[in-house]
Structure 1
């Protein structure tokens, strides 16, 4: 029985929404539903809808058995577009696709020079794919079964939805119960310009089930009683209903009486097993023997295959195989597309597979593995799958290892991690081989944005590893992964110390470990020991021999030196800039610039931090992971410089992006909690600040700690919140960055009866910091002294020093406190000092401070400007300063990514500002910005 020709039942509303959305590109429609609910049928109906005439439909599907080859469904969708691209104007970057799509070589631009970094290659590949899709427009890219997608496919779809080619729409289908958080995140947060629709398909109700049954049987006489019975048996699942009716027809149990009614006796005798599984198995059991053999072979193979492979696995002669295949095609269980054959629906394949006895199943998998070895090139993912399920575990491990190598070579580290983890958990391996695979797993996991929990596998391999390079790498990788997963710094340090002596033949790794041991992360280790490790790392650098690796280690050393106030960090930074021509190009060079920038900011060197971060961001332009880490440092700089507009959006994005990386995420959490206090969201600040302080100490982020401790002290006025931090800073000698906290700590101590203790601390730190590279001390020490003495001149000196550093928020606080002292002394300069603080708070959107300063102004009769009703975003129809910046850069022709690099924002945040600007200006596209003249004055027409 064929199922073609049935009408679409119960999905008219969803079809209208689907068609309406995809015809308004850029757009994305997610079609979600359980297996057999009709996702593919709905998309098929969309494809033939008259409103889609003239649009190119590109279809690809994700497979349960994945190959270690990225972007499979996208490649499938584009493979046959050569004719359409023959006359298209493609940018040179599309040449990056030649290796991925050899079928399109004749129409693609020349190949590009290879890049030294796989992540950069991947980003360039994404750009090329987006360019090709845009050139094919108007087009609809359909990706089915996204729940089986590889990580690079998901990453590319996220990229595509961020850059949003104007002529392309996406239709993505997945099973909701199997969709990961990453899939939902990508599909749930496209750029603002993308029209989005999410369709969740529900089971049919009883009446809809009856109507679909009538369509399948091509009979109108389906009674309500019989329809209800079918609904009960199928649970409203279209595929289950189709299979049930096919089974009943094959049994001859569909007896129709005169008048078009079904006999009561027939209903009682149906005894149809519920669900798809039993009905499919019974249908197959009723088929001829050769058809059953072909069905079992197709169920084992799972993916569409050529007929010769299907015949080989079934173990049939050609004539028998053809007869069996034809039987299944006519019955509608299998379907053919482009010469490849597979089950029409995966549920039917699973039903047949589950009914094959274990011994026969393993035999079929072994035959399938032999068939896969004959394919050119060998599909390693399928071969590994069949070997494993055939019980041939040693052979499986070898093929899986080759698949992981292929995935890594193609830059798909997440897939390599998945394969290697599976092998290490399931395959019988000799200790030496286990150790080698564990090392490869560790390096691949270290490249993934959200590292998996695989430390246990590396630790197991470490137990049997002999002294030498393998053991050294395992210890190092265990420490690295524990850091990224938020582990105990003391445990990380023990692993690093154990690694050093085993890495003698790899000076690059040995120096890296030494630099890591020099980072002040363990609270019990004095700073002198860290300094010794940093010196050892510097001594080892000349032996490395690789200029890029040398810069990387020098960056690690300079980063730590800046935290302890050792002025050598500046000379090392100059050396790094000289070595790289002030332009980092490799990922390790970008890391060096970014690391120094972060700690330079924490130590108070705002300007050099800004310069280094700008260079790092430019160097990471083609590499999303380092770019995201640059954006984390950008949060700190934006907070310190007072560039707060749009910062909430950027913080929210990075909190989500780094959900699985506690050590990195703490930066965004710190800025979020500090902003909450400044914005006047005191409930959030009270909830988050103590937790952020505690976890920053636990994670060993001591250079970052002064920000959250300062905010907590200002909020509570209780010095107890800083006790644990003080112990760490005293032990580690980290007062160059920690002196930032001194004014808030002094105020809290003095307010709670600790005036003398506070004075002693200020005096001690004045001596401790003398001679160290600690620019924050020039502002924080006079600020603290002023809080103890009430000397307005000290407050003014502190404010001026903060201004020189580029710290407007702290300068405003010092001026506000100076005004209080001047008002008490009836000094006429008080008004000007308070107004200056008030203006800064107003510009920043620091509502908590603004309200306090306004109360002081009212108390003393000082006229100050009222704040915008909505805070910093209350610009009404006028463009905010950030919106104006973004709009001007867009008008100059910069892309969202280029604007993001310029302003240290993500493309999504840029898109939000640009959309707001276009809406206020009454414009429909960024192209209209250039000639509209509306940007003059930054207001709406």
Structure 2
């Protein structure tokens, strides 16, 4: 039946209280919503008026032609992937024309929005049982919102959002369509762990505006205005004073009191201050018994339900229920939430009514609700579990909660599943079989989790406790180890995986083989190269006869990764033989992973052409099979390839945009990216920034000794050596030198060995330097390592430089030619500079040619300090260009040299550091600094406010 809501006791529409005391907050909300794209956060305690504020803003936006989509989170939501967002998007159909062409990414929403399927592209195919990636859903939501823009997506009560929904909204907020906004409301005190509303700190990307609005209790005048808007002449001073005292500034309490007063004769008064519970008790006393029964049933059911369910729970026949429901709606005790959906207007109101119920009545209603809900054609399992728990039946609650969790997993709602499983696993009387089932389920769905801290703690507790079968414990431990390594960057994960092998090997061979091959390919120093190969052989033997082709593909991909990382030539042929198509998409994903791993290793070994091809192929396969993590990694490899290729201008900006897009993605190549940032900073004279970048890598690598950190150790040691700190430089490289023979990582061309040889020579340890160079030569002799060949020439040149300059120059020239052939101009220029420096005393003309070549590259790259160093060498050879006298000055503009000084000042450099970076005298630097500060009208402290950038004039 259809009912009119919001009517007073006489049937006339009730006057809603005036919207008061929120003009500033409404202006902030609308101002941000008008500056789309925008992310707007509205925070406040229960009953403070968040929904009213958003409703007022939404009404204004709708009048302006903006499409507003609204969804809400609920504590007892039934499994539905990304439920609050899906609820909101259902309204988008009115603005989507049938036959309109949408981006293919919107097809992922078709299974979630069956009513809109005729207006959405086909859903992408996926393996049975495979859940849809949140990144794909976020892209689909973005495409749909963009199609109906201008649009605002509102999600209320985010404190009840599941983890998957929070992450989806986090991803969407980072990449909103241009003409859209996202509005989230929440109670900060009820957020999980009192953490950020989106599960992780949200930083608005460049170009996205927004607002963070915190609602506070209303003041006295605002409450009086609210009362006058409802009561008119009834609002006597005494009555207003009582209303203000009773509400204590909380709009919900004031509104409920006003509803009570509106139904009373003129001159009625309010009693002493009281709680919502007392307000609802008094209001219920004025309702007829059938209406009280309906209200009590609604309070116990806890979520909006249809009239038939209310009737069955209240124990009324349909006719009596209809009349009772009309009375409850007219008294504003209940409200209509949608077609045939009735419940309380606010969670506090429902809780107040629920608390008023005597224990026996409450128990009887829960028992009746349980029977009614179980008899429905599609039983709502989450609600059924809730009522079983309220009845104190722990066994029934566990049974129903586990069924609800498994249903959530089956429909892809991993957020709801995780929440239920955590609750189950916290039950101290959990039966052993259910304990194992729940723990395994949680471990298996943990991979998409952004908020992994709680899951890691839970899994640690589970594997440390008694009662689990060995196979189940091993599988859980394996997932725990992978979460520790991949998401928490905690090297203790390796020990967990090693223990998992022992627990799995006799029971689940495919899982055991997976664990073995993971240990084989991990980049830390825990296992030597020989031990890695042994793990691989053991893994291959374990899956040799297995029918699980995906498990075999996983082990095969890991074997290729290890062989490639050790420079083994056979890795190339094995990689080429991997399947690019297969009926099982998991097999192809392992091929994509092997290609991506080979591309990363190729960067470290300076096989740049092959790395570029492997990266492109891995990226194409990853996009085809929706492997989000591989897509992100391949894009990072593209950035590194461009840096090595000498595409330095604008590289920092491209990298910053990439990190802003994937701000919380754990990247295995973070060490490489930070290292090239450090090398760039050092080349431009920004030594403090370079030290920070290198130090950041080494600080987090102390326990891992990861081969990807070799470049950071070399970079920091070179800065220390340039400052005369030879002993500190040696200490920096010494630990990592031990990794090279253990991991057979001589092939990694990240400058560690040349740097160590140069430091040893500087310390007068020529025998050690020669031993290092010889070890390096022997370590790469038969391997596919083009970068190591160039570095071997550098080492030989360094060894010859003191007594045989022409021989040294030949070795440096060979290194230059090798780097040029690889396609790395910066490394080639460094080698050319060394050749020129060696030739300076014996063949000046050739020295000038080499140095001039290096200067040209440095200046194109913006390597200020390197160029200045070469100019200094050329001046020593009498070849520096003369500066013309009488040339027109730059006036109030900065000269090129002054811009270099300004950049270094912005980075906090001292005059001494600037002089060293630009090879200028201290007196000249003083003059340049004075001119820069005068022209810019600032001080040194003012310059540091924008580090690393030269202020524009």
TM-score bracket for the superposition, by shorter chain length = 0.7 to 0.9
Q: 1:585 to 1:501 in 2, by over 3 A?
A: closer
Post-superposition offset of 1:188 = 4.5
- Give the secondary structure class of the aligned counterpart of 2:747: helix
- 5 Å-filtered alignment, 1:337-376, equals 337=337, 338-354=339-355, 361=362, 363-376=364-377
- Give the secondary structure class of the aligned counterpart of 1:7: coil
- Deviation by residue 1:661-703 (Cα, 9 ceiling, x = unmatched): 5977656655555555556554444345335224224235x22
Partner of 2:249: 236
Which one of 782, 791, 807 corresponds to residue 793 of structure 2? 782
- 5 Å-filtered alignment, 1:450-489, equals 450-455=451-456, 457-458=458-459, 461-462=462-463, 464=466, 469-486=471-488, 489=491
Q: Does 1:67 align with 2:78?
A: yes
**Matches of 2:742 and 2:361, distance apart in 1:** 67
Q: Does 1:735 align with 2:746?
A: yes
Partner of 2:297: 297
- 5 Å-filtered alignment, 1:477-626, equals 477-486=479-488, 489=491, 492-493=494-495, 495-496=497-498, 498-499=500-501, 502-503=504-505, 506-519=508-521, 523=525, 525-540=527-542, 542-576=544-578, 586-621=588-623, 622-626=626-630
Q: Does 1:686 align with 2:699?
A: no
Post-superposition offset of 1:221 = 5.8
- The more displaced of 332-341 and 102-111 is 102-111
- Give the secondary structure class of the aligned counterpart of 1:518: helix
Post-superposition offset of 1:40 = 1.9
Q: 1:278 to 1:560 in 2, by over 3 A?
A: farther
**Matches of 1:281 and 1:642, distance apart in 2:** 76
- The more displaced of 25-34 and 706-715 is 25-34
Q: 1:391 to 1:776 in 2, by over 3 A?
A: farther
Post-superposition offset of 1:741 = 0.7
Post-superposition offset of 1:720 = 0.5
**Matches of 1:665 and 1:285, distance apart in 2:** 66
Q: 1:502 to 1:29 in 2, by over 3 A?
A: closer
Post-superposition offset of 1:522 = 5.9
Query: CA contact under 8 A between 1:584 and 1:590: conserved in structure 2?
Result: no
**Matches of 1:586 and 1:829, distance apart in 2:** 53
Q: Does 1:627 align with 2:631?
A: yes
**Matches of 1:154 and 1:840, distance apart in 2:** 48
Which one of 864, 867, 880 corresponds to residue 862 of structure 1? 880
Post-superposition offset of 1:124 = 5.4
Q: Does 1:48 align with 2:56?
A: no
- Deviation by residue 1:462-511 (Cα, 9 ceiling, x = unmatched): 55467764344234223222322547646624642552573456554333
**Matches of 1:386 and 1:731, distance apart in 2:** 60
Partner of 2:763: 752
Post-superposition offset of 1:706 = 0.9
- Deviation by residue 1:699-744 (Cα, 9 ceiling, x = unmatched): 35x2212122122212222111123222333333322226631122
**Matches of 1:412 and 1:401, distance apart in 2:** 14
Partner of 1:77: 88
Partner of 1:696: 701
Partner of 2:914: none
Partner of 2:215: 201
Q: 1:825 to 1:234 in 2, by over 3 A?
A: farther
Post-superposition offset of 1:555 = 1.6
Query: CA contact under 8 A between 2:582 and 2:588: conserved in structure 1?
Result: no
Which one of 225, 238, 248 corresponds to residue 211 of structure 1? 225
Post-superposition offset of 1:429 = 3.2
**Matches of 1:573 and 1:50, distance apart in 2:** 56
Query: CA contact under 8 A between 1:490 and 1:522: conserved in structure 2?
Result: no
Partner of 1:402: 403
**Matches of 2:314 and 2:872, distance apart in 1:** 85
Partner of 2:187: 175
Q: Does 1:794 align with 2:811?
A: yes
**Matches of 1:359 and 1:669, distance apart in 2:** 65
Q: What TM-score do the two structures reach when normalised by structure 1?
A: 0.80
Query: CA contact under 8 A between 1:3 and 1:242: conserved in structure 2?
Result: no
**Matches of 1:873 and 1:158, distance apart in 2:** 35
- Deviation by residue 1:377-417 (Cα, 9 ceiling, x = unmatched): 33333333333333333222233333333333333434433
Partner of 2:335: 335
Query: CA contact under 8 A between 2:733 and 2:752: conserved in structure 1?
Result: no
Query: CA contact under 8 A between 1:659 and 1:665: conserved in structure 2?
Result: no
Q: 1:866 to 1:167 in 2, by over 3 A?
A: closer
**Matches of 2:500 and 2:165, distance apart in 1:** 39
Partner of 2:438: 437
Post-superposition offset of 1:89 = 0.9
Q: 1:520 to 1:48 in 2, by over 3 A?
A: closer
Gap runs ≥5 in structure 2: 1-7, 722-728, 802-807, 883-894, 905-953
Q: What root-mean-square deviation, in Å, do the aligned CA atoms of Structure 1 and Structure 2 show?
A: 4.2
- Deviation by residue 1:7-26 (Cα, 9 ceiling, x = unmatched): 22133344345445546655
- The more displaced of 401-410 and 357-366 is 357-366
Q: 1:785 to 1:129 in 2, by over 3 A?
A: same
- Deviation by residue 1:135-178 (Cα, 9 ceiling, x = unmatched): 44454433222333334444444555566446654443333445
Query: CA contact under 8 A between 2:163 and 2:451: conserved in structure 1?
Result: no
Query: CA contact under 8 A between 1:709 and 1:722: conserved in structure 2?
Result: yes
**Matches of 2:253 and 2:826, distance apart in 1:** 65
Partner of 1:930: none
Query: CA contact under 8 A between 1:446 and 1:481: conserved in structure 2?
Result: yes
**Matches of 2:343 and 2:552, distance apart in 1:** 54
Post-superposition offset of 1:215 = 1.9
Which one of 734, 744, 757 corresponds to residue 723 of structure 1? 734
Q: 1:498 to 1:724 in 2, by over 3 A?
A: same
- Give the secondary structure class of the aligned counterpart of 1:601: helix
**Matches of 1:100 and 1:586, distance apart in 2:** 26
**Matches of 2:130 and 2:863, distance apart in 1:** 42
Structure with bigger gyration radius: 2
Query: CA contact under 8 A between 1:384 and 1:400: conserved in structure 2?
Result: yes
